[in-house]
Amino acid sequence: MKFSVEDKIFKKLNTVCFAVVAVYGVDNSTENANIQKRLEENIKLCQTSLEGVKVKEIESVLCYREAFRKININPNKYMCSIEALLTRISKGRGLPNINTIVDLGNAISLKYQIPIGAHDIDTMNRGISLRFSEEKDYFIPFGNTEKEAVDNGEVVYASGNSVRTRRWTWRQSEEGKITNQSKNIFFPLDGFSDVNKETILLAQQELADILKQEFDCDVSIGWVDITNQSFRTD
């Protein structure tokens, strides 16, 4: 599997960076009490810390809102995934248990207040990339089967012409979503080298450690930025 970031992305966001985790051989078919507990604890901690706070004004969210503006995404209309998660928690709505891997990703995302994606490697066509959209790209929303058009020049995670996440970290696709049958998974942790690099590295290490401990699986970690624009696992 190869993850790459188009050079044009760095021309718009020169400090954007990605701590990446690729895991092979996960059994995601059963519940995991340790991960469920971790998610519940992080939800409670976030809800307490966000009392009386405007989520869109906290430091950990502002950097993503500003980056969205730089790539022509209105953050008031299309929230970064971490802003959407924190907003939901701040309103006391909690999070449902989806499956073990998704719950783990949400738990780490909430703890470190960063966006974390999760993509099924076995559904990919020659890997996955973050790039500007192309004419033949398409997107299938969660729970749907019909394709929808993607705006021209939109920043997307894509595998081939299948867009896996629209507007960078806004909305994930039905294709490549993590299910109970997913065994091989790619996690990108998106951040900025001048704002929260240490935070995403800590989150990467904790995610990798938990995957090893709880699933006894093969885990690879890597780093992508303007000087190293791709990551590959064999």
Return d(Cα 108, Cα 38) in angstroms, integer. 9
**22, 16, 225: which is closest to 119 by C-alpha?**
22
Is there a domain that residue 40 lies in? yes
Query: Side chain identity at 4, as an amino acid letter?
Result: S
Q: How many domains, in total, are found in the chain?
A: 1
What's the pLDDT score for residue 125?
85
User: Is position 109 within any domain?
Assistant: yes
> Residue 126: what pLDDT?
84
**Structure-derived torsion over alpha carbons of residues 141, 64, 224, 1, reported in degrees to the nearest 10:** -10
In a domain? residue 64:
yes
Q: What backbone torsions phi and psi does residue 228 show, to the nearest 5 degrees?
A: -145, 90
Residue 35 domain-assigned (yes or no): yes
Residue 181 in domain: yes
CATH number of the domain bearing residue 84: 3.50.40.10
Mean pLDDT in consecutive groups of 10 residues from the start of the chain, 234 residues: 97 98 97 97 96 95 98 97 97 93 98 98 95 96 93 96 98 96 98 98 98 97 98 90
pLDDT (0 to 100) of residue 4: 98
What the block records as the tokens of 124 is 């990919």
Domain boundaries, position 69 = 6-232
- Whether 103 maps to a domain, the answer reads yes
Residue 63 lies in a domain: yes
In a domain, 1, yes or no: no
With CA atoms as reference, report the closest residue to 125 among 158, 154, 166, 157.
158
To which residue do tokens 């078919």 refer? 29
pLDDT of the residue at 124: 96
* Calpha distance 33→187 (Å, rounded): 21
β-bridge partners, 131: 156
Exposed/middle/buried for residue 194 (C-beta within 10 Å: 0-12, 13-18, 19+)? exposed
3-state helix, strand, coil in the chain (%, to 5): 35, 25, 40
Distance CA 11, CA 114 (A): 22
**What's the pLDDT at 234?**
73
CA distance 100 to 106: 10
